[in-house]
Structure 1
């Protein structure tokens, strides 16, 4: 298939978790012989912050991990959809795009575009910013890919689309895999952005306070940490590492004995079943994981075996002590979580699901699935 993707950015993962999953999906699609073109807005906020804070050389570093990841920059006033979509079989438009772009692509499809058109939602705004999401004009779209059953159902209930599929994020195991290390540099690592005060109390209860009270050697990576957050980290003796390129995370996980997951409040309260990308990636790296409470309503994992769940701060301390003091328990937990990712939650699994959606939409099977001979020719 010729596939065109409109996303905020594939180059930058500065406060932009969608890039994690997108890179893995693009790589997997291309390895199967599909032709993929990514379009992102020129001077998008994530890329701007990355370049301003860390320099353009970070983009060169990215190419070492993702040598075939490329993008096309556009501006809305010069975007020529007739040219861009001329040979497309499938077009995905991400919800983190301007309303105008979403509408224009839909109108192009309505005027005779010979491709299938899908909207892709990977955020909680369908619940927390419903008015804004309702303004997206999906009239001429074939359906919606939603990264959780709850969001999928919402699109159907609100009448925003007639078709929707659940398409969870997953780990890009070409980059996220265990890195062997004989000795650890510390006890606990956490990789995550502070956000918009959506989990401030939770971060104190399940991360900062346990580390402080147990006297652990810990390091935290992420962006948008306000002064009060940095002060709290310093008071707890936690090293703050700032932004970490996503593709460097596996190397950092290998330096520590345990990590934790602290989901944002909208996911816990209104969107059960959506873990976001971080747990997938941590488990893929073979590091023991302890999570604050969230409802695995879609049975993606086996809580208690893939990861431990702490109902409160005291229980988080207990779980941390168990994992840190029992190498066998830590090893068993990590192994179970890793196997679950490999069995069910890789980007390859998600491309399998996407190809099934393409079948349902009526794209010719010879375009979706290359023959063995075609695959060999592609690899050559």
Structure 2
């Protein structure tokens, strides 16, 4: 297939978690022989911030982890959709795109042969419903939603006629257990502070337990306000700033445990959506403890893939167990790795995407390039 994708950024994961999953999907599609063309806007805020703070060399470094990963930059005013979409079989448009672009691609799709899908990987369908309702999807063939609850919203609100659940997953070509050398500490956490969506939770499940147990810990991420940095310093937690996502596996190998603290919208209104962080941590073989979230779609086995702490006291109890009892840690690691490898890699998600393409009527000879399938639908 020729696949054209419009996303905010492939090159930058500065405060842009979608890039994690996107890179793995693009590489997997290319390995299967599909032609993939990526388009991201000129002057995109994520890439702009990355270059401003860390320089162009970080874009070059990305190639060491994702060889051949390429993108195209477009200007919305001069974008020629006839040229860009010529010969396309599948077009994916992410929800973090300009409303006008989404509408223009939809209108271009009228009487065209390619299949057009909108891809939603955020909680805005709940938290910013009015803005999401303004996306004109009437000429789209359907929606990929990164959780069943999001899929149901699109159908209930009549934003689309067809929708599929398409969870994020780990790119295990990059996220795999690295050999453990000399440890640098007890606990590491990789995540952005965000928009005060989990401030209380970060204190209860991360900052306070580290402080009260006297653990050696380090936190990576961006958009940490002054009050957050002050809290980290008071707890004796080292702040590492932005960490390129592809570096996370190397960092995980230097610590004994990590935690997952989902943002409040996912806990309160979007059960079943863990976001990509737990997938990546488990895929790297680091023991994981999570604050509460409802695994409504049975993606994991809580208690075996990772431990769940209902409150700060339970978090301290679990941290003590993992740090002081290696057999508990190893059992979690092995169970979590098995779950990822059996169900939650980018290979699994591309398999699911190919099934969607087949359902939409793209001929199997284009979808399954490496399989002996000759029937055409």
Asked if Structure 1 and Structure 2 have the same fold, meaning a TM-score greater than 0.5 normalized by the shorter chain, the answer is yes
Whether 1:179 aligns to 2:178 is yes
**Structure 1 residue 226 displacement after superposition:** 0.2
Contact 2:181 2:254 (8 Å CA) reproduced: no
Which deviations, in whole Å up to 9, do the C-alpha atoms of 1:16-65 show, x marking residues without a partner?
00000000000000000000000000010000000000000100000111
Matching residue of 2:24: 24
Deviation of 1:193 after TM superposition, in Å, equals 0.1
* RMSD of Structure 2 on Structure 1 (CA): 0.9
1:128 Cα deviation from its structure 2 partner? 0.2
CA contact (8 A) 2:4 2:37 kept: yes
Matched position secondary structure for 1:256: coil
Partner of 2:53: 53
**1:195 alignment partner, SS class:** coil
Separation (CA, whole Å) in 2 of partners of 1:96 and 1:53: 22
Corresponding residue number in structure 1 for 2:336: 337
Residue 287 of structure 1 pairs with residue 292 of structure 2: no
CA contact (8 A) 2:181 2:253 kept: no
Cα offset, 1:370, TM superposition: 1.0
CA distance in 2, matches of 1:194, 1:185: 23
Distance (whole Å) between structure 1 residues aligned to residue 337 and residue 207 of structure 2: 26
The aligned counterpart of 1:192 is 191
- The answer on 1:168 being equivalent to 2:167 is yes
Q: Structure 1 residues 373 and 344, CA, compared in 2 at 3 Å: closer, same or farther?
A: closer
Tell me whether 1:306 sits opposite 2:301 in the alignment.
no
Taking structure 2 as the reference length, the TM-score comes to: 0.98
| Distance apart, 1:67 and its partner CA | 1.1
Please give the secondary structure, in 2, of the residue aligned with 1:151: helix
The TM-score, its normalising length taken from structure 1, stands at 0.97
Q: Which residue of 1 aligns with 2:7?
A: 7
Distance 1:103 1:290, change over 3 A: same
What's the secondary structure of 2:116's corresponding residue?
strand
Matched, 1:210 2:235: no
Residues 233-272 of structure 1 correspond to what in structure 2 (within 5 A)? Answer: 233-272=232-271
Q: Provide the residue aligned with 1:378 in structure 2.
A: none
In the aligned structure 2, how far is the partner of 1:231 from the partner of 1:113? Answer: 56
Q: How many residues align?
A: 373
SS in 2 for 1:190: strand
Counterpart CA distance in 2 for 1:214 and 1:353 is: 43
Deviation at 1:273, TM superposition (A): 0.1
Is residue 100 of structure 2 the alignment partner of residue 71 of structure 1? no
**Distance in 1, Cα, partners of 2:210 & 2:280:** 22
Contact 2:219 2:238 in 1 (8 A): yes
| Alignment pair present for 1:315 and 2:314 | yes
Which stretches in structure 1 are left out of the alignment for 5+ residues?
A: 375-380
Moved over 6 A (4+): none
Show the counterpart of 1:219.
218
Measured after TM superposition, the shift of residue 372 of structure 1 is: 5.2
CA displacement 1:241-265 (0-9 Å, x = unmatched)? 0000000000000000000000000
Specify the alignment match of 2:131 in structure 1. Answer: 132
CA shift for structure 1 position 198: 0.1
Q: How far does residue 183 in structure 1 lie from its aligned partner after superposition?
A: 2.9
Structure 2 residue runs without a partner (length 5+): none
Please name the residue that 1:84 is paired with. Answer: 84
1:65 and 1:165 mapped to 2: Cα distance? 30
